[in-house]
Structure 1
Amino acid sequence: MKVTSIKNAEHYNWGDNCDGWHLARSDNLSVIEERVLPGCFEVRHYHERAEQFFYVLSGQAELEVEGIAHMLHAGEGMHVPAGVKHQLSNQTQEDVRFLVISTPPSHGDRIIE
């Protein structure tokens, strides 16, 4: 076991220059910190097995869940059960940083709508 932060976690890029860091990664759990630039978004999708919890660390994210837009501010989060269509976006002029916690891990379990 070790102390983990974005300084030593596995990093990846996605979308239009957005960032992700794998803070915890096992067969049963995934914890990722992501940074989404202004105007960027993830494609709308769902997971067959993974349920997720999105928690905003800074900025403001829009989390669309089954056609309903939810504005999440720093210190707020939302649970998305498996099978529920969703899309996270940044509609503001500042970066959004958030945690996405998935169990089981969502990689390889994403179905794009």
Structure 2
Amino acid sequence: MDHRISGIDTAEHYTWGGVCDGWHLLKDPTLSVIQERVPPGASETSHFHSQARQFFYVLSGTATMEFEHEAVTFAAGQGLHVPPGTRHRFANRSDADVVFLVISSPTTAGDRTNLPDAAAPSHPEAK
């Protein structure tokens, strides 16, 4: 069993959308924990996951999750569940960085369908 401590200083880092950062704190086929930083005005492409259930928990800043017919804004200390099959898009409509955890079970790798959305960059988990 692996009992190593994980943090952004030691975790695998990636960038997406040219301006957003992510760190794989736990990268397992059954459970993924990623810390991300999204600067003001940035967002991802609308998409859904067929299998993965996700929970987004904001560490700092204010996030907006856009769904098919509504948008939900949540701030530091608050989280939001996104069930499998739910069309969604994470966005930062504020004037400060949003730092958050996204916890997915199982991992979203290979389980992402992007939807038409020319305005926002894709996320690397689209692969």
Using the size of structure 1 for normalisation, the TM-score is: 0.97
CA RMSD of aligned residues (A): 0.7
1:3-23 deviations in whole A, cap 9, x for unaligned?
110000000000131000000
Give the alignment partner of residue 84 of structure 1, picking from 78, 83, 86: 86
The residue aligned with 2:14 is 12
Shift of 1:25: 1.0
User: What percentage of aligned pairs have identical amino acids?
Assistant: 51
Listed as ranges, the matches of 1:92-107 within 5 Å are 92-107=94-109
The residue aligned with 2:73 is 71
Shift of 1:104: 0.3
1:48 matches 2:50: yes
1:43-100 deviations in whole A, cap 9, x for unaligned?
0000000010000000000011232100010000110000000000001111000000
What are structure 1's unaligned runs of at least 5 residues? none
Distance in 1, matches of 2:105 and 2:66, equals 20
What are structure 2's unaligned runs of at least 5 residues? 116-127
SS in 2 for 1:70: strand
More strand by share: 1
Distance in 2, matches of 1:61 and 1:34, equals 12
Q: Indicate conservation of the 8 Å contact 1:54/1:100, yes or no.
A: yes
Q: Indicate conservation of the 8 Å contact 1:46/1:83, yes or no.
A: yes
Shift of 1:107: 1.3
The residue aligned with 2:38 is 36
Ranges of 4+ aligned residues in structure 1 off by more than 4 Å: none
